[in-house]
Amino acid sequence: MPNMSLKKNEMPTQDPHIRSGNYAEVALGYTEAAAIDEAQRCLNCKNMPCVSGCPVCINIPHFIQKTAEGDFEGAYRIITESSSLPAVCGRVCPQESQCESKCVRGIKGEPVAIGRLERFVADWHNEHSTEAPVKPESNGHKVAVVGSGPSGLTCAGDLAKKGYDVTVFEALHTAGGVLVYGIPEFRLPKEIVKKEIETLKALGVKIETNMVIGKVLSIDELLDDGFEAVFVGSGAGLPRFMGIPGENLCGVYSANEFLTRINLMKAYKNDSATPILHAKNVAVVGGGNVAMDAARCAKRLGAENVYIVYRRGESELPARAEEVEHAKEEGIIFRLLTNPKQILPDDNGNVAAIECVEMGLGEPDESGRRRPIEIEGSEFKIDVDCVIMSIGTSPNPLIKSTTEGLECTKWGGIITDEGGLTSREGVYAGGDAVTGAATVILAMGAGKVAASSIDEYIKNKN
């Protein structure tokens, strides 16, 4: 008999007052008993609506069934037929707008907690399994992957499973893309990313770090070097600014720089060689996941007041509802319907305040969200000593400018067909480099599609 409770099993979390002073993971994960109980809420629907909401098509009812039976390793095997980063996805994927949004249990109550179960199964495997992945027999073909974010790692993993000799070239000194330099430790412990990367290495994937493609080697040089195809998963790491006065003052960061200092360079540790401003009052401009991460990091660095400054209202916040709730619990102050006009200096050129204006909401714009409109004469100041700009990113232009014939959109996204093929033969692309800033699972989906196209391309060529 299924468990007909209308509510999902709660995810235990660290107490907000304690966690806002540490970097340990906020969500603590299900116990075996809670996972089995939650898995028993699944009705094992024949038409599997939840799978249609998963960009990598995990056989969700099957893995949940195995979990309900207590066969956690069996559940892990089913997930990893489709996903190479289950412990990551179980933590950061927006399941509420994907698989869980299609779950029939969501019609009269809460959907099955698919993401929490995925996380549980992956963590159980990582804790208990001693089985090393088996390296497939080589098929003798070489493929290069540029970038080690979720799109590159997924593409590399899928090709390695088919026997390809895959080398990932990563610009930074550590592999993982945004998973290591952007998403903070308290949402996604770096040990977990490392473990998932170790699994890929055990499949034979080689990872070369400190390799900026477009500088050290070009895409054409990779092709001349015997790589039969190249996948570009270089992400969208170029920060945008508002273009308002004061953005060059000391104490203004892009969210990417601020988070990279903290996550990748561990600037929050006393012995870190990378400095970071320990500000007292911080304004984070933006309302997405990145803004929530920056605000929560600023709080953990010791700020007394951290403001989210966002020009639309609560219901338009693009961040996941869970992240907004966690940020509020940790004492982040939301200044909604508020837009910055300028950042004001003190006598030494440091940030002293941010001048904002109140906003109202008009008719929906092309994004479908109501257009923010300035309320004349409503300017006011918030005293801050640090401003973090988190209003979006674009693809870095380096690959485009060094690869002849690679067609890109006006904003720098690489243009591909449905299979990930670019305007250059043998060169494929996917993830944020193509779509602009999106999600981990969409990047993984794109890496998967491209791996399958590359396989077809190389087979047909030979």
Residues lying near ligand FAD in the complex (CB under 6 A) are found at 92-94, 146-152, 169-172, 177-178, 182-183, 211-214, 233-235, 237, 259, 289-290, 293, 396, 398-399, 431-433, 437-441, 443
Q: Which does 178 bind (CB under 5 to 8 A by kind): ligand SF4, ligand FAD, none?
A: ligand FAD
User: What is the C-alpha separation between 129 and 18, in angstroms, rounded?
Assistant: 32
* Tally of CB atoms within 10 A around 86: 25
Contact 146, 214 (CB under 8 A): no
Q: Strands, DSSP E only, in 79-164? A: 142-146
Specify the residue, 114 or 236, whose C-beta has the smaller distance to ligand SF4: 114
The Cα–Cα gap between 353 and 395 comes to: 31
Query: Helix or strand or coil: residue 27?
Result: strand
DSSP state of 97: G
Using CB under 6 A as the binding rule, whether residue 60 contacts ligand SF4 is answered as: yes
Smallest gap from residue 157 Cβ to ligand SF4 (A)? 25
| CB of residue 41 to ligand SF4, shortest distance in Å | 7
Contacts of residue 83, defined as CB under 8 A and 6 or more positions apart, other chains included, come to 56, 58, 89, 154, 444
Q: Which is nearer to ligand FAD, 249 or 414 (CB)?
A: 414
Assess contact for 384 and 283: CB atoms under 8 A.
yes
Instruction: Show the tokens assigned to 424.
Output: 């250059």
Q: 17-56: which residues touch ligand SF4 (CB under 6 A)?
A: 42-45, 48-50
Shortest spacing between CB 95 and ligand SF4, in angstroms: 10
Is position 58 an interface residue for ligand SF4 (rule: CB under 6 A)?
no
Number of residues that bind ligand SF4 (CB under 6 A): 15
Q: How far is the CB of 106 from ligand FAD (least distance, A)?
A: 20
57 lies in the site for ligand SF4, by CB under 6 A: no
Min dist CB 34 to ligand SF4, Å, is: 16
Between residues 16 and 412, which has the closer beta carbon with respect to ligand FAD?
Answer: 412
Closer Cβ to ligand FAD, 172 or 352, answer by number: 172
Measure Cα distances from 252 to 119, 318, 442 in Å. Answer: 36, 23, 31
Span near ligand SF4 by CB under 6 A; candidates 57-65, 136-144, 214-222, 352-360? 57-65
User: Rule CB under 6 A: which of 61-90 touch ligand SF4?
Assistant: 61, 64
- The H-or-E segment that residue 456 falls in is helix 440-461
Report the nearest approach of ligand FAD to the CB of residue 290 (Å): 4
Q: Which helix (H) or strand (E) holds 36?
A: helix 32-39
Q: Which amino acid is at 29?
A: G
φ/ψ of 370, rounded to 5, equals -65, 135
289 contact choice in ligand SF4, ligand FAD, none (CB below 5 to 8 Å, kind-dependent):
ligand FAD
The phi and psi torsions of 369 (rounded to 5 degrees) equal: -95, 155
Among ligand SF4, ligand FAD, none, what binds residue 42 when CB lies within 5 to 8 Å by partner kind? ligand SF4
User: At closest approach, how far in Å is the CB of 344 from ligand SF4?
Assistant: 52
Residue 153: partners with Cβ closer than 8 Å, 6 or more residues away:
84, 85, 168, 175, 176, 177, 196, 197, 200, 447
User: Please, which residues have CB within 8 angstroms of residue 305's CB and are 6 or more apart in sequence?
Assistant: 280, 281, 282, 333, 384
Residue 61 binding: pick among ligand SF4, ligand FAD, none (C-beta 5-8 Å cut-off by kind)? ligand SF4
Interface mask (CB under 6 A) for ligand SF4, residues 198-237, using x and -?
Answer: ----------------------------------------
Contact residues: ligand SF4, CB under 6 A: 42-45, 48-50, 60-61, 64, 103-105, 112, 114
